[in-house]
A and B are shown apart, each in its own frame.
Chain A
Amino acid sequence: MPAASLEISGLSAGYGPTRVLEDISFAADAGRRLAVLGRNGMGKSTLFATLAGQTKRYGGAIRLGGEAIEGMGSSARALKGLGYVPQSRDVFPTLTVEENLFVGLKGRPRAAIEEAYQMFPRLKERRRNLGSQLSGGEQQMLTTARTILGQPSVLLLDEPLEGLAPVICEELMAAFGTLAAAGEMTILLVEQRIQSALDFADDVIILERGRIAWTGTPAALSADRHTVETLLGVGGLH
C-alpha cells in the first residue's frame, strides 16, 4: 500500500469520564515524517491510541487518505492501512514469535514473515519462543516488526526505540527513514530522545496538557530555546 495522508481536525478524546485530548488538529501529507513530542503524561500515547480507535472519542474528525475513519472500529482502521505500535509492547504472550508475526500479516502470504526476520535477525533465532519469554528489547522488536508486516500506509510509532540497544536503534531509524523516503509510509513518531526524533522528522508537533502547543520544523525547534525549555523541560539540544 502506498503512503496515505492523515488529517485530524478538532479531535478530543479520553478514557471514560476523563478527557485527555482537546481540540487537536493537524495533518501529515503522504510520505511525511512527523514527530510528536511532549513531556510526561501530556497525551502523546492517548493521541495515537485515539487514532487507532482505542479510546473514547468525544468529537472531531480523522481522515486517512481522504476517507473519514473516525466512525470505524479498530480493526477496520487497521485494514484501511493504519498501523499502530503501542508504547506498552503488546506482544501476545501465549503465541510464539512466529505466530505473533502471523497475526500482523493481514492476509499476506506466510512467506512474508521472512521480511521481519531480515529486519530483526534476533527474532528469527527466537521464532519458536513464546512472546512472554522474550526479553524487553526483543518484545519491542516483535511489536514493531509485526505491524510493519501489514504494510500500513500510515504508521504510528509510540516510543519504538525504548529498550533497544544503540546499534539496533540506529538501524531501525535508518529503516524507517528508507520506508518513508520510498513513499511507502507516512510515519508519526513519539520518542523521548528528542534529538533522535528531530534527526528523523520532517515536522514536529508538541503536546501540552492534551492540546497542541507548538508546530513547526525540527530546525525551527532547535533554534527556539524557549519552547524547548518550557514545553519539553530540557535544557537545550546538542
Chain B
Amino acid sequence: MQTVFSIGVDALAYGMVLFVISIGLSVTMGLMRVVNLAHGAFAMIGGYIASYAARDLGLAYAVAVMLAVVGTILIAIPVERLLYHRIYGQPELTQVLMTIGITFCVIGIANYVFGPTLKTIPTPDSLREPVSLGFRTVSAHRLFVIACGTAVALGLWYFIERTAFGVKLRASVDNAAMAAALGVKTEVVYAVSFAVAVGLAAFGGVVGAELLPIEPYYALRYMVTFLVVVSVGGAGSIPGALAACLLLGAIDTTGRYLMPEFGEFFFYLAVIAIVWIFPRGLAGRAK
C-alpha cells in the first residue's frame, strides 16, 4: 500500500513537470495552430538564462526565474516578427520545416556559446530540503513544481476561456482574415499569445530543469515528449493537457516501477490505446 502511495506521489510530480514544460506548446499548437517544434529551444533558452543568472551571477532563484521568462520573451519577439510571423496559417509541414530549422540554429548557438556540458540551476535551500509526507519523503522542489503546475493551469484556463483577449485569440486562429475584418488587431493578438507561450516555455524549462537538465541538445531531446503529451491531451485544451500529463506520467511511472525493461513499450502502447479511444485527443477542440 505504501508503495502504491509512493508511486502515486512520483507520478503526480512527474506529470506536473511534464505539464509545466509542455503547456506553452499547447498554446502555440492548439490555439495559434503553429506546430512549434522549437518549443524546447525556448525552454532551453530560459534554462540557460536562469542558470547563468543563478549560478554565475549568484542571483536569487526567484529573480533568476523572472529573468529567464522576461529574457526569453525578449529574445523571442524578434524571432516572432521575422520568422514565425511568416508561417502563421501556412501548411503544418512548412511550419515543421521552419521550426526545426530554428531548433537546429538554437542548438548550434547554445553549443557554441555555452559549450556542450550540462548546466544546472541552483535551487534555494528551502526547495532542496526533503519534505516528509508520513510514508515517505519527497524533495520540496517536487512539491513546488506541483504548485506551479496547478497555478499555471488555472491562470491559463482563465486567460483563454474567460477574458476578452482569449476570445479574440481564438477568433483570430479560426479565421484571421475575418477577425481582422471585425476590427481585431490580429498581429498584436498573435504577438502577445506567442510571448505568453514562450514565457511559459521558459518558465517550464527552468522549473523542470531538475528532471530535464539543460544542455544544448535539450531542444531536440525532449521534443517528442512534449509533442506527445500535448497531442494526446488535445492541443489547445488546458484541462486536456493536464489530464494527459497526469495520465501519461502515471503510466510511465508505474510502468517503470513494475517492468522497467519494458518501460518504453508501456508508455507508447498506452499512447496508442488512448489515441485509439480518443482519436482527437482527450479534449480535442473541434475544428
Closest to A93 in B: B174
Q: Are B175 and A54 in contact (CB under 8 A)?
A: no
Determine the distance from Cα of A102 to Cα of B162 in the docked complex, in whole angstroms: 12
Interface-located stretch among A72-80, A188-196, A201-209: A72-80
> Given A93-B286, A94-B286, A130-B286, are A99 and B180 also a contact pair (CB < 8 Å)?
no
Closest to A82 in B: B181
- Cβ-based interface call for B57 (8 A): no
Report A-chain residues with C-beta under 8 Å of the C-beta of B174: 92-95, 131
Q: Distance (Å) between the CB of A167 and the closest chain B CB? A: 27
Which residue from A52, A94, A131, A146 sits with its C-beta under 8 Å from B285? A94
- Cβ-based interface call for A168 (8 A): no
The A-contacting residues of B in range 25-51, CB under 8 angstroms, are none
Interface-located stretch among B11-19, B103-111, B183-191: B183-191
Q: Distance (Å) between the CB of A153 and the closest chain B CB? A: 13
Q: Distance (Å) between the CB of B169 and the closest chain A CB? A: 10
Number of interchain pairs (Cβ within 8 Å): 71
Determine the distance from Cα of A31 to Cα of B171 in the docked complex, in whole angstroms: 30
Q: Distance (Å) between the CB of A151 and the closest chain B CB? A: 11
Q: Are A103 and B181 in contact (CB under 8 A)?
A: no
Q: Distance (Å) between the CB of B73 and the closest chain A CB? A: 24
- Cβ-based interface call for A118 (8 A): no
Q: Distance (Å) between the CB of B83 and the closest chain A CB? A: 20
Determine the distance from Cα of A103 to Cα of B174 in the docked complex, in whole angstroms: 12
Q: Are A103 and B287 in contact (CB under 8 A)?
A: no
Determine the distance from Cα of A132 to Cα of B170 in the docked complex, in whole angstroms: 14
Report A-chain residues with C-beta under 8 Å of the C-beta of B175: 90, 92
Determine the distance from Cα of A136 to Cα of B287 in the docked complex, in whole angstroms: 17
- By secondary structure, the B interface counts as helix
Q: Are A78 and B286 in contact (CB under 8 A)?
A: no
- Cβ-based interface call for B118 (8 A): no
Which residue from B170, B179, B182 sits with its C-beta under 8 Å from A150? B182
> Given A74-B177, A94-B285, are A147 and B182 also a contact pair (CB < 8 Å)?
yes
The A-contacting residues of B in range 155-202, CB under 8 angstroms, are 164, 167-168, 170-171, 173-175, 177-186
Report B-chain residues with C-beta under 8 Å of the C-beta of A52: 181
Question: How many of chain B's residues have a CB under 8 angstroms from any CB in A?
Answer: 21
- Cβ-based interface call for A86 (8 A): yes
- Cβ-based interface call for A226 (8 A): no
Determine the distance from Cα of A52 to Cα of B177 in the docked complex, in whole angstroms: 10
Q: Are B286 and A92 in contact (CB under 8 A)?
A: no
Which residue from B167, B170, B181, B286 sits with its C-beta under 8 Å from A84? B181
Q: Distance (Å) between the CB of A53 and the closest chain B CB? A: 8
> Given A93-B286, A94-B286, A103-B171, are A79 and B183 also a contact pair (CB < 8 Å)?
yes
Q: Distance (Å) between the CB of A187 and the closest chain B CB? A: 16
> Given A90-B175, A93-B287, are A102 and B167 also a contact pair (CB < 8 Å)?
yes
Q: Are A94 and B181 in contact (CB under 8 A)?
A: no
Closest to A106 in B: B183
The B-contacting residues of A in range 123-137, CB under 8 angstroms, are 130-132
- Cβ-based interface call for A104 (8 A): yes
Report B-chain residues with C-beta under 8 Å of the C-beta of A84: 181
Report B-chain residues with C-beta under 8 Å of the C-beta of A93: 174, 286-287
Q: Are A103 and B168 in contact (CB under 8 A)?
A: yes
Can you report 27 residue pairs joining A to B where beta carbons are below 8 Å apart? A52-B181, A73-B180, A75-B185, A75-B186, A78-B180, A79-B183, A90-B175, A90-B178, A92-B170, A92-B178, A93-B174, A93-B286, A93-B287, A94-B174, A95-B170, A95-B171, A99-B167, A100-B171, A102-B167, A103-B167, A103-B179, A103-B184, A106-B183, A130-B286, A132-B286, A132-B287, A150-B183
Given contacts A53-B181, A75-B184, A95-B174, 5 further A-B contacts (CB under 8 A): A73-B180, A92-B174, A94-B173, A99-B170, A150-B183
A interface, CB within 8 angstroms of B = 52-54, 73-75, 78-79, 84, 86, 90, 92-95, 99-100, 102-104, 106, 130-132, 146-147, 150
